[in-house]
Amino acid sequence: MVQLGSSLTGKRLLQWQQTCEPQEYWIIDNLTGRLDPAHHRGRRLVSSVDRWLEQHPAEKRTAWSTEIPCLSAQAWDAVAATREMFGEAQLAHRIRDYLPEQGQLFVGNSLVVRLIDSLGQLPAGYPVYSNRGASGIDGLISTAAGVQRASARPTLAIVGDLSALYDLNALSLLRQTSAPLVLIIVNNNGGQIFSLLPTPPDARERFYCMPQNIQFEHAAAMFGLRYHCPQSWEALETALDGAWRMPVATIIELVVNDTDGTHTLQQLLAQVSQL
């Protein structure tokens, strides 16, 4: 097995990497640090990836796995079947349709980034930014504002309601944009990512999800930002169409059912595991 570049990302990919037992394991990267959390025995080749590929050009081989594309297509069809429902899982599936031309995407943490990773399909090469943040979610709006200022490109940013609360004062930064910026706040009333983690069900809502039962209309008004709270895909698309026409920031709050996103992801994983 050959790994090009630094540490892998993605929970399921790391789980697969940990269990695999290749005869040879090579890691090619220009950094010298340890990059394999599973601690396989292997060869560490310090080189830039492009330089190594120049010295080792690819050769045509018989496809090593024909099942993965089939499983991927079946999973995509399963997601597409629920596309018309109004929820955060469906937003993740539709995200490609809402990206600004010549723009960029900033994705917050917790549930939303996992849904986009599992259910979305972005254009090849489209710029995507994120920030791990303090405690996982702090400073995300600030980072999105900085990304937009540095690039001067139209920006779609998506965060959860708790992430928005953690960095609420950063809405003041959105008053100074050089290109259209849309901040979608997916309000599922708490940290619903903890519904996917092994947290005790009887204490999950009080100590993990921590629903705040708020909306963000007044916060947008306080900072003089445009605000929409669509209740359908048509209303969302109308709001986005207007937002991309003006070099200002717009807040779009999607109030969704609190558990639909996690249930959709869990059901999809269960279906795929049975294929």
Supply the pLDDT for residue 211: 83
DSSP state of 6: S
> Residues 127, 105: contact at Cβ < 8 Å?
yes
Taking only the tens place, the pLDDT of each residue in 116-164 is 988 889 999 999 999 876 667 789 999 999 999 999 999 999 999 999 9
Residues 50 and 80 in one domain: no
Lowest-confidence pick of 43-47, 90-94, 208-212: 208-212
What is the greatest pairwise CA distance in the chain? 61
- The pLDDT-based confidence of 212 (bands split at 50, 70, 90) is confident
For the chain, how many structural domains are there in total?
2
Residues 14 and 86 in one domain: no
Residues 203 and 241 in one domain: yes
Residue 67 lies in a domain: no
Element (H, E) at 143: helix 140-151
| Position with higher pLDDT, 6 vs 141 | 141
- The pLDDT-based confidence of 195 (bands split at 50, 70, 90) is confident
37 pLDDT higher than 80: no
Residue 66 lies in a domain: no
Residues 6+ apart with CB under 8 A from 95: 105, 116, 120, 122, 158
Supply the pLDDT for residue 3: 85
CATH number at residue 232: 3.40.50.970
Residue 92 lies in a domain: yes
Residues 31 and 97 in one domain: no
Residue 65 lies in a domain: no
Lowest-confidence pick of 130-134, 149-153, 213-217, 235-239: 130-134
Supply the pLDDT for residue 148: 97
Residues 6+ apart with CB under 8 A from 130: 106, 107, 108, 109, 113
Task: Please give the Cα distance from 159 to 186 (Å, whole number).
Answer: 6
Residues 50 and 127 in one domain: no
Task: Please give the Cα distance from 194 to 162 (Å, whole number).
Answer: 12
Q: How far is CA 222 from CA 9, 159, 168, in A?
A: 38, 19, 11
- Name the range with the highest mean pLDDT among 27-31, 77-81, 112-116, 176-180: 176-180
Residues 30 and 92 in one domain: no
Task: Please give the Cα distance from 79 to 11 (Å, whole number).
Answer: 20
Residues 117 and 173 in one domain: yes
Task: Please give the Cα distance from 250 to 244 (Å, whole number).
Answer: 9
Residues 149 and 24 in one domain: no
Residues 99 and 207 in one domain: yes
Residue 71 lies in a domain: no
SS3 call for 197 = coil
Residues 32 and 93 in one domain: no
> Residues 82, 89: contact at Cβ < 8 Å?
yes
- The pLDDT-based confidence of 40 (bands split at 50, 70, 90) is confident
**Number of helices and strands (H, E) in the chain?**
11, 9
CATH number at residue 17: 3.40.50.1220
Owning domain of residue 98: 76-270
**Across 106-125, average pLDDT:** 88
Residues 90 and 44 in one domain: no
DSSP state of 83: T
Average model confidence (pLDDT) for the chain? 87
Residue 70 lies in a domain: no
Q: What percent of the chain has pLDDT over 70?
A: 97
Residue 63 lies in a domain: no
**Across 213-218, average pLDDT:** 94
* Count of positions (residues) in the chain: 275
> Residues 205, 275: contact at Cβ < 8 Å?
no
**Across 98-109, average pLDDT:** 95
- Name the range with the highest mean pLDDT among 113-117, 118-122, 169-173: 169-173
Residues 6+ apart with CB under 8 A from 144: 106, 129, 155, 157, 159, 181, 183
Residue 275 lies in a domain: no
Residues 91 and 26 in one domain: no
